[in-house]
């Protein structure tokens, strides 16, 4: 159990650091180029893992259509929303937007598909979670709009598609090794993002620095490849529900790292908002916690 908890904390930390590295690298490198490099590096890493563990990549080529959908919804749209949205908000606020995933997943599974039973505690949790997000963003930013709201909408919109993708993956990828799934859709996403980068940004003309290369390797190898591998390792070992605990810790690590490393201002209302979101996500999953115990 201790090992699983450590893995949860590790994944939450490296995924939170995605926002930190994005903030640092976007000072010199265009956003689509960053994400294209991230996808390619992560794909190479997972391909090596897939080959070493002798995964049947060729045999699953017949699912290429499904993998393409996963690549679009789960990576391309999400990562473009992150890349462009991160230009307008702090790394801490960006990391909090990941909590949209469990909140929206609850809405989809309960109210739209009816695959999960409705319970009043879950509805209260949803409302509490939304209230927490409002506190983190700031009521004034929501009312008056501006750059912060624009960034939040871009990042939040990306996680909306990510949540939808999670539901689809649960239906279309049953029985498929998640390492195979991730390897395929990172490859497809890398191709799509690279094409976009050459159309809109001319990555070969970017004045790369040594720091940029290290940041790109960090976001590709540590934040993406190792994060994905650890996440799917947990799913296989202890199930998707325990793995979802990651979403409780990402905002905490994101806010803390942004404050310590980037000297970002953290308001009391934002801290209260993060705590409120965590309470909301817990209430949504309270019934599952009881079943797990």
Q: pTM value?
A: 0.87
Q: Mind listing the pLDDT tens digit for each residue in 157-170?
A: 999 998 898 888 87
Identify the pLDDT of residue 241. 58
Distance in angstroms (rounded) separating the CA atoms of residues 122 and 118: 7
pLDDT in tens, the chain (293 residues): 678 888 889 999 999 999 999 999 988 899 999 999 999 999 999 999 999 999 999 999 999 999 999 999 989 999 999 999 999 999 999 999 988 888 888 888 888 888 778 888 888 988 998 999 999 888 888 887 788 899 999 999 999 998 898 888 878 887 888 889 889 989 999 999 999 999 999 898 888 899 999 999 999 999 999 987 887 777 767 665 567 678 788 988 999 999 999 999 888 998 999 999 889 888 887 766 555 54
pLDDT in tens, 243-260: 767 878 898 899 999 999
Joined together, the tokens standing for residue 231 give 């996440």
């Amino acid at each position: 159990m201790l090992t699983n908890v450590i893995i949860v904390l590790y994944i939450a930390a490296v995924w939170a650091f995605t926002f930190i590295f994005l903030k640092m690298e976007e000072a010199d490198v265009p956003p689509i180029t960053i994400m294209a490099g991230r996808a390619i590096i992560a794909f190479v890493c997972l391909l090596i893992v897939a080959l070493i563990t002798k995964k049947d990549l060729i045999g699953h080529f017949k699912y290429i259509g499904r993998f393409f959908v996963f690549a679009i919804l789960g990576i391309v749209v999400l990562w473009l929303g992150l890349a462009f949205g991160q230009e307008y908000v702090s790394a801490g606020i960006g990391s909090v937007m990941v909590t949209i995933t469990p909140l929206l997943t609850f809405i989809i599974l309960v109210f739209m598909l009816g695959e999960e039973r409705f319970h009043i505690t879950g509805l209260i949790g949803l409302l509490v979670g939304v209230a927490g997000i409002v506190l983190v963003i700031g009521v004034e930013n929501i009312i008056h709009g501006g750059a912060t709201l624009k960034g939040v909408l871009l990042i939040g919109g990306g996680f909306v598609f990510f949540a939808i993708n999670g539901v689809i993956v649960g239906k279309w990828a049953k029985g498929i090794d998640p390492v195979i799934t991730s390897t395929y859709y990172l490859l497809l996403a890398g191709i799509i993002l690279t094409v976009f980068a050459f159309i809109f940004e001319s990555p070969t003309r970017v004045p790369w620095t040594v720091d940029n290369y290290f940041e790109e390797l960090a976001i590709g190898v540590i934040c993406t490849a190792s994060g994905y591998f650890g996440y799917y390792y947990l799913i296989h070992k202890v199930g998707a529900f325990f793995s979802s605990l990651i979403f409780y810790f990402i905002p905490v690590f994101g806010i803390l790292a942004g404050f310590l490393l980037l000297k970002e201002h953290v308001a009391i209302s934002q801290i209260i908002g993060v705590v409120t979101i965590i309470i909301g996500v817990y209430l949504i999953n309270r019934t599952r916690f009881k079943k797990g115990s």
